[in-house]
C-alpha cells in the first residue's frame, strides 16, 4: 500500500530536525520513503489530507485486557486490536486476564497467532505462576521463547515473599521481567474504594494507601536482595511514588506505570455510586493525583497505561460492593492525557515503554518502517456512547470533557482510520 500524508505536523521530540515541522510523508509498501516540504502524489497512492493532521511515532500501551479466550462476550482479540488501532496504539501489551490464563508456551503462541496480520502488534504477558494461583512458578523460560514479554498474575498480589524472591533470581538467567501487583490483600480486606473522607461519607469499605505502599516496600527489599528486573503496574498513591523514586536512586532495576484514570479522576467521583468508577487500585485523592502527575513528569513513574478492562454489563449494573473492577481506557486515552499535559509531554508518555519489554522502538525517518499515529490535538468534546468502539461499554469517561481526536494508525503496511 502506498500512502501520502499531506501537511502533517510531526511531533517527535527524539528527532530534533523534524520535531514540530510540517511535512509531507510518502510511505511505500510500509516503508517511509520520503519526508519533504512538498511531495507530489505518485500514481496508485492513497492521499490523506486531514484537518490539522499531526503525526507521531506509534503509541504503546503496557496494560490492555480483552477477554479472549474465555470471556469473548467482553471483547475478542480481533475487535480489541481494532479498537486499539482506532485509539492510536500500534503496540499493546496484553494482560493475562483470560480463562484459561496463559501459563504455558502454547497459550502464549495462541495469543500471538490471534494477533497475526493486524495493524496493532500484540505482545502477550504470561502468568508468573501456574493458573495465576500464586503457588508454583509457571513455565517462564518456555513462555519467553514463545513470545511472552513479562510475567504477571493479573491484579493478584504475590503473597508469598519467597516466591517473588525465587522468581526474580530465576528470571535473571534470561533477562525476564517480573511483575508484582502493588496490593497487600490482608490489609485491603473487603475494601472497595480509597479509605478516606469520601468512603466514610458513602459507607464504603476502604482500601488504605498502606495496602499498596507496604506491598511495594516489601517487593523493593526483595529486589535489593536478589537483583533482577521488577515492574510494578498501576501505582496510585503519593507514598508509592516516593518509594520507587528512592529505589531508583539506589540503582535498583525497577519500573512502574500509572493508569491514566488515576491521573484524571479522584475518589470524589464515587459520590454517585457509579460502578464504572470501581477500579483496582482505586481512585485516590487529589493530593495523590498531583504526586502521580509530578512523578510522571520527573521520571519516577516510567510510563502510563490505559489499564483497559472491558467488562460485561451484568458485572457492572449491580451494587457497588458487588461490581467487578475495571473500566475501558483505550478510546479516551489521548483525549484525557491531552487535557492534563502539554502536547509534547502527552506524546512522550504515549510512545515510551517499549524498551522495558524488549519491544523494538520505531523511528520516524526515511527508510524506517512506518509505525505512526495520526491525530488532531485541538478541539474539546464530551465523551459519549458513540465514542466507545469496544464490545463492552463500561467507561468511566462518559460525560467527561476531553481534548483532541485520534484519526488512526499506519503500521504493518496497513492503515486504520
Q: Which residues are catalytically annotated?
A: 307
Cell numbers given for 178:
517480573
Chain centroid to Cα 118, Å, comes to 18
Q: Got the DSSP string for 300-324?
A: SS-EEE--B----GGGTSS-GGGSP
Chain centroid to Cα 59, Å, comes to 10
Phi and psi angles of residue 414, each rounded to the nearest 5 degrees, phi first: -135, 160
Q: Which residues pair with 372 in a beta bridge?
A: 57, 410
Question: Which residues contact residue 319 at a Cβ distance below 8 angstroms, ignoring those fewer than 6 apart?
Answer: none
- CB contact burial 194-223 (16+ within 10 A = b; e otherwise): bbbebbeebebebbbbebbbbbbbbbbebb
d(CA 107, CA 273): 38
Q: What is the DSSP letter of 404?
A: E
Amino acid at each position: 500500500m502506498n500512502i501520502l500524508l499531506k501537511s502533517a505536523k510531526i511531533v517527535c521530540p527524539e528527532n530534533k530536525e523534524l520535531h514540530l515541522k510540517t511535512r509531507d510523508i510518502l510511505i511505500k509498501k510500509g516503508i517511509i520513503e520520503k519526508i519533504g516540504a512538498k511531495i507530489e502524489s505518485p500514481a496508485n497512492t492513497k492521499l490523506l489530507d486531514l484537518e490539522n493532521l499531526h503525526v507521531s511515532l506509534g503509541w504503546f500501551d503496557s496494560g490492555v485486557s480483552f477477554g479472549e479466550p474465555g470471556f469473548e462476550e467482553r471483547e475478542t482479540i480481533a475487535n480489541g486490536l481494532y479498537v486499539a488501532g482506532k485509539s492510536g496504539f500500534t503496540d499493546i501489551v496484553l494482560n493475562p486476564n483470560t480463562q484459561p490464563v496463559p501459563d504455558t508456551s502454547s497459550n502464549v503462541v495462541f495469543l500471538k497467532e490471534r494477533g497475526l496480520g493486524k495493524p496493532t502488534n500484540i505482545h502477550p504477558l504470561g502468568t508468573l505462576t501456574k493458573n495465576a494461583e500464586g503457588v508454583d512458578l509457571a513455565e517462564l523460560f518456555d513462555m519467553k521463547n514463545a513470545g511472552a514479554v513479562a510475567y504477571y498474575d493479573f491484579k493478584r498480589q504475590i503473597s508469598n515473599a519467597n516466591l517473588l524472591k525465587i522468581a526474580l533470581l530465576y528470571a535473571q538467567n534470561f533477562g525476564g521481567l517480573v511483575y508484582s501487583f502493588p496490593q497487600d490483600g490482608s490489609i485491603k480486606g473487603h475494601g472497595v474504594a480509597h479509605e478516606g473522607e469520601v468512603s466514610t461519607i458513602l459507607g464504603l469499605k476502604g482500601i488504605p494507601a498502606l495496602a499498596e505502599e507496604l506491598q511495594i516496600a516489601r517487593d523493593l527489599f526483595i529486589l535489593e536482595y536478589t537483583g533482577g528486573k521488577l515492574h510494578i503496574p498501576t501505582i496510585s498513591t503519593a507514598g508509592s511514588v516516593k518509594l520507587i523514586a528512592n529505589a531508583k536512586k539506589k540503582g535498583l532495576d525497577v519500573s512502574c506505570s500509572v493508569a491514566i484514570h488515576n491521573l484524571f479522576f479522584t475518589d470524589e467521583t464515587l459520590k454517585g455510586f457509579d460502578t464504572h468508577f470501581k477500579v483496582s487500585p482505586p481512585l485516590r485523592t487529589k493530593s495523590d493525583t498531583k504526586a502521580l502527575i509530578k512523578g510522571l513528569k520527573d521520571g519516577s513513574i516510567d510510563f502510563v497505561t490505559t489499564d483497559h478492562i472491558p467488562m460485561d454489563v451484568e458485572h457492572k449494573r449491580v451494587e457497588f460492593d458487588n461490581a467487578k473492577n475495571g473500566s475501558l481506557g483505550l478510546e479516551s486515552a489521548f483525549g484525557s492525557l491531552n487535557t492534563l499535559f502539554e502536547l509534547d509531554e502527552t506524546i512522550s508518555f504515549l510512545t515510551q515503554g517499549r524498551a522495558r519489554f524488549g519491544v523494538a522502538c520505531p523511528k520516524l525517518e526515511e527508510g524506517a518502517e512506518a509505525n505512526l499515529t495520526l491525530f488532531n490535538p485541538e478541539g474539546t468534546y464530551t465523551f459519549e456512547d458513540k465514542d466507545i468502539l469496544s464490545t463492552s461499554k463500561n467507561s468511566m469517561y462518559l460525560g467527561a470533557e476531553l481534548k483532541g481526536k485520534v484519526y488512526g494508525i499506519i503500521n504493518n503496511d496497513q492503515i486504520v482510520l
